[in-house]
Amino acid sequence: MRLAAEGAGLDVEIDSAGTAAYHVGSPPDDRAQASALRNGADISGLRGRQAVEGDFRRFTHIFALDGSNLADLRQLAPPDATAELGLLMDFVPGFEGRAVADPYYGDSAGFDVTWSEVSSAAKALVAKLRT
């Protein structure tokens, strides 16, 4: 998303957080880092964090990569949340309601599939934000 926003000249704040604390403080998976580098992004400085109540007021939109995490986000959202919640792939025509491929338990090629899906959604989201 950062690459798509920068390429379009958008000044937006982008962050990433999980709904569970599995990888808090850890860098992205080595396979994710390699896929990102192949696509022009260095994500090695990122660290995992868990979504917190403040995120639901700090950001205007929060996107989940699958239905399970969307349900978790809805449970985490405080009563005064202002962020709109949704699925990231809903921005890609023909992929509405679909989850982003989860590459974690597969080989490194799966991370390239995930990169492609997220990139398609990011481009669609940037196009929507520009209108």
3-state secondary structure 56-105: HHHCCEEEECCHHHHHHHHHHCCCCCCCEEEEHHHHCCCCCCCCCCCCCC
Q: What's the pLDDT at 130?
A: 83
Question: Using one digit for the tens of pLDDT, what is the confidence trace for 61-117?
Answer: 999 999 999 999 999 999 999 999 999 999 999 999 999 999 999 999 999 999 999
Going from the C-alpha of 127 to that of each of 1, 96, 104, 123, the distances in angstroms are 12, 16, 29, 6
Judge whether residue 45 has pLDDT over 80: yes
Q: Is the pTM above the cut of 0.75? A: yes
Query: Cα Rg for the chain, rounded, in angstroms?
Result: 15
Question: Using one digit for the tens of pLDDT, what is the confidence trace for 7-17?
Answer: 899 989 999 99
